[in-house]
Amino acid sequence: MIPDHPQRDYRGVRVLVMGLGSFGGGLGAVKFFVGRGAIVTVTDTRPAEKLAESLAELRGSLSERDLAAVEFKLGGHDDEDFRRAELIVVNPGIRRDHACLQIARAAGVPLTSEMNLFWQWNRAPVVAVTGSNGKSTTTALTHSILSHHVQREGSGRRCWLGGNIGISLLPLVDEIAPNDVVVLELSSFQLADLDRLHVSPAVSIVTNFSPNHLDWHDEVAHYRWSKQTLLRWQEPSDAAVLNADDADVASWPTCGERLAFGLSDRGEPGLFAITGDDEQVCVRLKQFEERVPLRRWLKLPGRHNLANALAATCAAMTLGADLDAVRLGLENYQPLPHRLQFVGEVAGRKFFNDSLATTPESAEVALEAFTSPIVLLAGGYDKQVDLSQMASAIARRGKAVALMGQTAARLRELITQSPDNRCLLSGELTSFQAACEWAVAQSAPGDVVLLSPGCASYDWFRNFADRGQQFTEFVRSLETA
């Protein structure tokens, strides 16, 4: 019998984890249910060699006895598993109209997700972050500030980081105390399913909105609806931190307290950059209004990262963080891998890994973050989104561009059509190694060689992290040559 309340154990329940994945959610679900005595089966269309990292992590975190009790069905799905299961944990990237899930629904098997399970079990207040771009950095900045805040309190409270950023907190949920605070990055896929729970984060942050993942959502309206789950069920005691520079996001409804952030000050409650001031920002929260040197504390390049820091600071101060915690959190922040990450300098050329730039807009802001000539590596899997603005930015800011993957031909056409184009375009590149070598060959001392694809990685790579790691390894090979 399936437990009807999340606080009951799952001893003897047949749980099917659909999609082991590479970013923690599937792993977290397996660990969670094994620890509660469930009979766990893992099914994934990818073979074992494509899941080597995830399988190695399971081997390192589960006892031999527990691991032996998990059945793995890799390289494809068996319809009968979906009929026999008593509960199915679905990877958020799998559409709910998948044929196997239709079989499960017809058999009356309930479906859930790793994040839905965490939300049902978690007892601590949540700061939840979403957006089309910048959500990982904003999530990590918020966590850094709040971590310093709770440390300075000396109360023993803890600040936890998880979600789409690649960390599953589900196996650790029993350790999270009611007075702790949890900072989660949430994708549109996760939010679409969380809507069923009427989730109400204590603080929600929406970094921005632009069409994305239309291969999954089919239409922009559903993508927007999924993102708005973060605000839809908030209560008056909650807060919503919204991007005032994004007209779409700024108009989203919520019952929570509305706070704003932006690169220009419109006089609203929140945090704002001050026009003409390269150091100070305006903090305007409740009865508190002050100019603070936030730009001096922030070490990340680019105006988009200033916007991320404004959002993170606003959320953290809403939960009680003071300016000393903000300063410490920003000054001590360690940039996340694959997010405008400086990899190294070779022969006068600076290499930056921005592999997490999987949307056109994220590549555009990366191009604006530098004043040096840029040799860009761009393109990848085609998510059926508009690439015209990204192409214009490449034509305007790029010295040369190595065009990769499924979108290479379309980007070449759009860049060539731009009246501003002075950018040298690569020919057809059949491998990432060839793209990297071509980019270096077009660069000169003083240039930036930037991996900021603006597209997903699925055609040439396992994921964005694999793409970024291969770029880093290529740069390391140049350093030792």
Same domain, 461 and 430: yes
481-to-347, 441, 474, 476 alpha-carbon distances in Å: 11, 15, 11, 9
Comparing C-alpha atoms, which of 390, 397, 381, 432 is closest to residue 412? 390
State which of 112, 138, 171 marks the end of a domain: 112
Q: How far apart are CA 144 and CA 469, in angstroms?
A: 24
Strands, DSSP E only, in 244-359?
257-262, 270-273, 281-285, 288-292, 341-346, 349-353
Supply the pTM of this predicted model: 0.82
- Non-local (6+) Cβ contacts of 413 within 8 A are none
Same domain, 314 and 363: no
Range of the domain at 67: 14-112
How high is the pLDDT of residue 364? Answer: 93
Those residues of the chain that have pLDDT short of 50 are 1, 3-5, 7
- Tally of structural domains, the chain: 3
In a domain, 3, yes or no: no
Place of tokens 């990262």: 305
Same domain, 208 and 303: yes
Same domain, 258 and 323: yes
Comparing C-alpha atoms, which of 65, 8, 72 is closest to residue 40? 72
Amino acid at 101: L
For the domain that residue 410 is a member of, what is the CATH number?
3.90.190.20
State which of 95, 112, 129 marks the end of a domain: 112
How high is the pLDDT of residue 339? Answer: 85
CB atoms within 10 A of CB 110: 12
Enter the DSSP assignment of 229: H
Comparing C-alpha atoms, which of 171, 146, 226 is closest to residue 193? 226
In a domain, 4, yes or no: no
Q: For 224, how many CA atoms within 13 A lie in the half-sphere containing its CB?
A: 12
Same domain, 100 and 127: no
Same domain, 133 and 267: yes
Q: Are 312 and 141 in contact (CB under 8 A)?
A: yes
In a domain, 29, yes or no: yes
State which of 331, 349, 368 marks the end of a domain: 331
CA-only gyration radius of the chain, Å: 23
In a domain, 6, yes or no: no
Same domain, 166 and 289: yes
Same domain, 312 and 388: no
For the domain that residue 58 is a member of, what is the CATH number?
3.40.50.720
Same domain, 67 and 134: no
How high is the pLDDT of residue 8? Answer: 64
Same domain, 125 and 104: no
Strand ordering across the sheet containing 14-18: 71-74, 39-44, 14-18, 87-90, 111-112
How high is the pLDDT of residue 25? Answer: 81
Q: What are φ and ψ of residue 273, in 5° steps? A: -70, 150
Place of tokens 């932006």: 262
pLDDT digits (tens, 9 = 90+) for 360-407: 988 998 999 899 999 999 999 988 889 999 999 999 999 999 999 999
In a domain, 292, yes or no: yes
Residue 362 host element (H or E): helix 360-368
Comparing C-alpha atoms, which of 86, 97, 100, 83 is closest to residue 45? 100
Q: How many residues does the chain have?
A: 481
How high is the pLDDT of residue 459? Answer: 78
How high is the pLDDT of residue 23? Answer: 65
How high is the pLDDT of residue 6? Answer: 58
Same domain, 385 and 471: yes
How high is the pLDDT of residue 1? Answer: 43
CB atoms within 10 A of CB 237: 10
Q: How far apart are CA 149 and CA 316, in angstroms?
A: 8
Same domain, 128 and 103: no
For the domain that residue 287 is a member of, what is the CATH number?
3.40.1190.10
In a domain, 8, yes or no: no
DSSP-H helix ranges across 162-302 = 188-194, 214-217, 220-227, 229-232, 247-250, 294-297
In a domain, 381, yes or no: yes
Comparing C-alpha atoms, which of 118, 111, 92, 104 is closest to residue 6? 118
In a domain, 135, yes or no: yes
